[in-house]
Amino acid sequence: MNLPRHLRQRGFTLLELLVAVAILAIALGAMLSGFARYASQAGYLRERSIATWVAHNRLTEIELEPSWPSTGSREGKTEMAGVEWKWRLEVRSTDDPDLRRLDLKVISPSAKDADSADAASSADLTAFMSQR
């Protein structure tokens, strides 16, 4: 039986619609997962960048001090980007008596164990300083 043209089916079947919705759901899920990873990495990179700036600034301050750094460890806090960062400095002698090794560790304020000696650092910087 031939139906008139205006009564013939125009449009999609339910199965075609379900397949299209499933494809969209998979694509959107993958996109959202990618956006979440990007946001997480952006925060991590921001923290690492600021921690590196803190380390460089602290080493520059040490270089500008009039006295040569004595061996031993010290720690302190400094503020950058509206956040207080902790740092630990270990000054060691080397085989050359006119050269010191400076190991600087910057700890994120969001670190779980920020107050412990084994706290995970956001930036580690090693420098060598000669006696003037």
**Domain-embedded: residue 110:** yes
Name beta bridge partners: 99: 130
**Domain-embedded: residue 7:** no
Q: Which amino acid is at 59?
A: L
Question: What pLDDT does residue 117 have?
Answer: 59
Segment 84-111, tens digit of pLDDT:
999 999 999 999 999 999 999 999 887 7
Question: What pLDDT does residue 125 have?
Answer: 94
**Domain-embedded: residue 125:** yes
Segment 23-74, tens digit of pLDDT:
999 999 999 988 888 888 888 899 999 999 999 999 999 999 988 889 999 9
Please give the DSSP secondary-structure letter assigned to residue 10.
-
Q: Give me the half-sphere count of Cα atoms (radius 13 Å) on the Cβ side of residue 53.
A: 13
Output the CA–CA distances (angstroms, integers) from residue 59 to 2, 14, 119, 126, in the order listed: 88, 68, 20, 9
Question: What pLDDT does residue 41 have?
Answer: 87
Q: Does 84 or 8 have the greater pLDDT score?
A: 84
Domain range for 65 is 13-130
**Domain-embedded: residue 41:** yes
Q: Cα(85)–Cα(47) distance, rounded to whole angstroms?
A: 10
Q: Which CATH number is 113's domain given? A: 3.30.1300.30
**Domain-embedded: residue 3:** no
Q: How many domains does the chain have?
A: 1
**Domain-embedded: residue 114:** yes
Using the structure block, give the residue that is written with the tokens 């085989």: 95
Supply the Cα-derived Rg of the chain in whole angstroms: 29
Is the model's pTM score more than 0.75? no
**Domain-embedded: residue 123:** yes
Q: Cα(85)–Cα(51) distance, rounded to whole angstroms?
A: 8
Q: Is the pLDDT of residue 116 over 90?
A: no
**Domain-embedded: residue 8:** no
